[in-house]
Amino acid sequence: MRHPTILLITSSGGSGHLIAAKAIKESIENGPHPKVVLEQDVSKDWLGNFFGQIFISIWNTSQINGWIFMQEFLSTIHPLTYIFFTPSIFFHCFRLLIKYDFERVIDDQVLGTKAITNAVRLYNWLKKTNLKVEKVLTDLPTDYTAHFFSEIKTLNRFERTSIEIYAQDPLLYGEMPQIFWKRKTGLPIEQIHIVPPPLRKAFMNSPVNNSLPVDIDLCIDSEVAKLRLIKASQIHTHPPVFFEDKGRVQIQPQDLVFTIMLGSHPSKCALYDYIEGFYNLVESKEGPTVHVFILSQTGKWIEKGLVDDIVSQIISHPLAPKRLRIYPISKQNGEVVSRLFNRSNATITRSSGITTMELIQASRGDIWIHQETPRSFLGFRHHGMVLWEYGNALYLNQKRGARFVSPQFFEQAFRFYFKQEREVVVPFQKNLEANLG
């Protein structure tokens, strides 16, 4: 068995880092000069089961319940984790460097940047090499990407020589790129590399032809998942056509298609409200078939019974028009997600970094960015999304004209898809400005 020559560092908690790591690993192992990649999950492999699982559990629970304050709190105390996690991360990284003599170190997550950089520096000193940490940003570079930038900014002038950043073009407001990067990271422009996003190969494929019928072959990972889809299809009597581990849904050119993807651990209340909104909007029995695909990036939400609750909600509407077809589905591969983005008339999404990059690359329909209801707590006010997702939202607005939606205003915003006379919808930016005011 060949020894790994590339160390790829990622982290659980959400799904963006893991998806990016998978894309990076596939591109290296299947590239013109294949290399063996050793992937390490900081949260699971380096922090130990106890601390790692606590961190992952708190983070995922806050996403499921829409606890914006908790997510921002965890991001705020991120610098304090240096004290507790630095020794463990440094030790594990340095141990692997000594054991395998890696040619490259790629890091696509936010934890322990200083520890990883110093492990590489010590290795370079001992081995007389010039290895660098290749920091791949899985969020888009904006003024709100503090969780990635904060620890990089703390590196001293010696540590900064051992790290380079790989990212997309930053969102600028009249500022020179070199000034932006120096202000956010402390690094010179020579250590910043603007590269294509770390996306799965399927998102680079040619878009589907919407003037022809499109087959979406859903991945069915278990018999239970298959039974859920059949149960959810009892209302409209048109279940997918099942074969092997797939469930095929055929979409005609005149059909309306909507995708709801609120991250790896979507908010339960938000999903329930969006589904009810579709039932309220599709009241007539006449009209095009309406397909609504509800999925997560990882499928972990199924383990928490959320999908069973959604199926129960669907079958509680026995008199709903049969042209409304809702598919609560488990984890899907890149091919399915990219085809859904291609074909959807509209996609409702949280503005996480990797999903934002995938939408910019593959979406051909409207993009609506989900926002929780803004709330205040102890004098602090959030705006329905964590700050870095707010930055991604601004980026998505500039690149693709994305707009803003919440369950509270969903029916008002989406009514024009179901009318012959399309209403004028307030642009996303104006919604944000009004909300922030």
Statement to judge: residues 193 and 74 lie in one domain: yes
DSSP symbol at 47: S
Statement to judge: residues 57 and 176 lie in one domain: yes
**Residue 14 covered by a domain:** yes
Sequence letter at residue 227: L
Helix (H) or strand (E) holding 153: helix 146-153
Statement to judge: residues 177 and 210 lie in one domain: no
**Residue 1 covered by a domain:** no
Q: Which domain holds residue 241?
A: 203-436
| Model pTM score | 0.83
**Residue 310 covered by a domain:** yes
Q: Look up the CATH number of the domain holding residue 70.
A: 3.40.50
- 359 burial level (CB within 10 Å; 0-12, 13-18, 19+): buried
DSSP symbol at 76: H
- Among 173, 198, 223, the domain-final residue is 198
Statement to judge: residues 422 and 321 lie in one domain: yes
Statement to judge: residues 69 and 103 lie in one domain: yes
- Beta-carbon contacts of 433 under 8 Å, excluding residues fewer than 6 positions away, are none
- Among 198, 213, 232, the domain-final residue is 198
Q: How many domains does the chain have?
A: 2
Statement to judge: residues 10 and 89 lie in one domain: yes
Q: What is the pLDDT of residue 49?
A: 60
Helices (H) and strands (E) in the chain, counts: 15, 17
- Among 156, 178, 198, the domain-final residue is 198
CB atoms within 10 A of CB 254: 8
Tokens standing for 269?
Answer: 């209340």
301, 63 Cβ separation under 8 angstroms: no
**Residue 136 covered by a domain:** yes
Statement to judge: residues 210 and 188 lie in one domain: no
Statement to judge: residues 189 and 89 lie in one domain: yes
CB atoms within 10 A of CB 376: 9
Statement to judge: residues 81 and 209 lie in one domain: no
**Residue 88 covered by a domain:** yes
Tokens standing for 96?
Answer: 């692997």
Tokens standing for 300?
Answer: 């972990």
Gap between the Cα atoms of 300 and 313, Å rounded: 19
Smallest CA-to-CA distance from 91 within 59, 68, 123, 61 is with 123
Q: What angle do CA 396, 139, 327 make, to 5 degrees?
A: 65
Whose tokens are 């291609």? That residue is 342
215, 253 Cβ separation under 8 angstroms: no
Statement to judge: residues 214 and 354 lie in one domain: yes
Mean pLDDT split into 10-residue runs, the chain, 437 residues: 90 82 95 94 80 60 58 59 81 96 95 95 96 96 86 94 97 93 96 96 86 93 84 78 91 95 79 93 90 75 67 84 88 91 94 90 94 56 69 91 92 88 41 45
Sequence letter at residue 78: H
Statement to judge: residues 172 and 270 lie in one domain: no
The separation between CA 424 and the C-alpha centre of its own chain, rounded to angstroms, equals 29
Helix (H) or strand (E) holding 23: helix 16-29
Statement to judge: residues 257 and 121 lie in one domain: no
